[in-house]
C-alpha cells in the first residue's frame, strides 16, 4: 500500500496495490502494520460504518467535540469528493482543508485524524461510503460546520448544482462560531 502525506501533514492518502485480471480484482484494503508505519503512531479502530447516498448529497462537515474520531474512509461503489478540515486551534494548519476524489475505481483511502471536521459530496449517481473510526459515535458530542462556510472556502465540485442536505447539515454553524479543539 502506497501512502502520500497531503498538504496538511497528518492527513494521508492511501493507494493499494491492485491485482486484476479478466476474472476481477483483489487488493489488501487495510494492513495495520503498514498503516501505523505511515501515520507514525498506533491506531485502534473500534467502529465500522457504511453509508449509501445519491448524487449531490453532501454530508458534513461533521466531528465530535469529545470522543474525537479518527477516520479511515473509502468508497466501495461510485465516487465522492472527500474533505478534511483542521479544527485544532493550536495547529499551524488550523482552518485549512484538503480534498480528494475517492472512488470504487481508484480504490484510494483517506486517513483523517482526530481533530478534523469531515464531509463529502457524491459525484456519481450513488455512492457507498465506508469508514472505520477510532472512537464510538456519540451524538451528544456531535457538531456540524456548515458546508459552504465563507472563511473555509471549500471548493466543492458542484458544477452549478445545489447540494442535497440533511436538516442537521443545513443548520451547521459557521467556522468562526464552531466549537473547536483547543
DSSP calls for 74-93: EEEESEEEEEEEE-BTTSTT
Domain assignment of residue 114, given as a range: 2-177
148 falls within a domain: yes
Which of 103, 66, 54 minimizes the C-alpha distance to 81? 103
Cβ atoms within 10 Å, residue 32:
11
Render pLDDT for 164-177 as a digit per residue (tens, 0 to 9). 999 999 999 999 99
Which residues are identified as catalytic?
Answer: 62, 131
Core vs surface per residue 140-153: b (16+ CB within 10 A) or e: eeebbbbbebeebe
pLDDT of res. 1? 82
182 falls within a domain: no
66 falls within a domain: yes
In a 3-state reduction of DSSP, which class is residue 168? Answer: helix
Band of residue 155 on the pLDDT scale cut at 50, 70, 90: very high
pTM to 2 decimal places: 0.94
40 falls within a domain: yes
Q: Is the pLDDT of residue 27 over 90?
A: no
CATH of the domain at 109: 2.60.120.10
132 falls within a domain: yes
| Structural domains of the chain, count | 1
Which of 114, 112, 8, 111 minimizes the C-alpha distance to 66? 114
Output the average pLDDT for the chain.
Answer: 96
Amino acid at each position: 500500500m502506497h501512502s502520500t502525506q497531503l498538504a496538511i501533514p497528518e492527513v494521508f492518502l492511501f493507494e493499494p496495490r491492485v491485482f486484476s485480471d479478466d476474472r476481477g480484482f483483489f487488493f489488501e484494503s487495510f494492513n495495520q502494520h503498514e498503516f501505523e508505519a505511515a501515520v507514525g503512531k498506533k491506531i485502534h479502530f473500534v467502529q465500522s460504518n457504511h453509508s449509501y447516498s445519491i448524487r449531490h448529497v453532501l454530508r458534513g462537515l461533521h466531528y465530535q467535540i469529545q470522543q474525537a474520531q479518527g477516520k479511515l474512509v473509502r468508497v466501495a461503489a461510485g465516487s465522492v469528493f472527500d474533505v478534511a478540515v483542521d479544527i485544532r486551534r493550536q495547529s499551524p494548519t488550523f482552518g485549512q482543508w484538503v480534498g480528494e476524489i475517492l472512488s470504487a475505481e481508484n480504490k484510494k483511502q483517506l486517513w483523517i485524524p482526530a481533530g478534523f471536521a469531515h464531509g463529502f459530496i457524491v459525484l456519481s449517481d450513488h455512492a457507498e461510503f465506508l469508514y472505520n473510526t477510532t472512537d464510538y459515535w456519540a451524538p451528544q458530542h456531535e457538531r456540524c460546520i456548515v458546508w459552504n462556510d465563507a472563511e473555509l472556502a471549500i471548493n466543492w465540485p458542484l458544477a452549478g448544482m445545489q447540494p442535497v442536505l440533511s436538516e442537521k447539515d443545513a443548520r451547521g454553524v459557521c467556522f468562526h462560531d464552531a466549537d473547536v479543539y483547543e
